[in-house]
Amino acid sequence: MNAQTPANEIDLAITGMTCEGCANALTRALSRVDGVAHVAVDFAAGRAHVAGSASTDRLVAAVEKAGYGATPAPHGVR
């Protein structure tokens, strides 16, 4: 596998975000998870899109540690 090719893409429904600052904090928290290649958090949609090899469980745990809630969401659904 090419080191620059993400192994998977995961969408999360996020709860508890109240502003763009929350989205920025979540972006930083998710970016720190080993195996994450790219993160995009959409405050208005309440979603996070993560590409890389990190497991859904590790991503949800990172969101919860940052003080928010997360559940897996269907890929591509906004």
In a domain, 48, yes or no: yes
pLDDT-above-90 percentage for the chain: 85
Q: Using an 8 Å Cβ cutoff, are 12 and 50 in contact?
A: yes
In a domain, 1, yes or no: no
pLDDT reported for residue 74 = 84
In a domain, 78, yes or no: no
pLDDT-above-70 percentage for the chain: 87
pLDDT digits (tens, 9 = 90+) for 5-41: 446 999 999 999 999 999 999 999 999 999 999 999 9
What is the domain-level CATH number for residue 49?
3.30.70.100
Distances (CA, A) of 68 to 1, 65, 73: 33, 7, 15
The Cα–Cα gap between 62 and 27 comes to 10
In a domain, 3, yes or no: no
pLDDT reported for residue 51 = 96
Strand partners, 36: 52
Q: Using an 8 Å Cβ cutoff, are 36 and 61 in contact?
A: no
Q: How many domains does the chain have?
A: 1
What is the domain extent for residue 46? 8-73
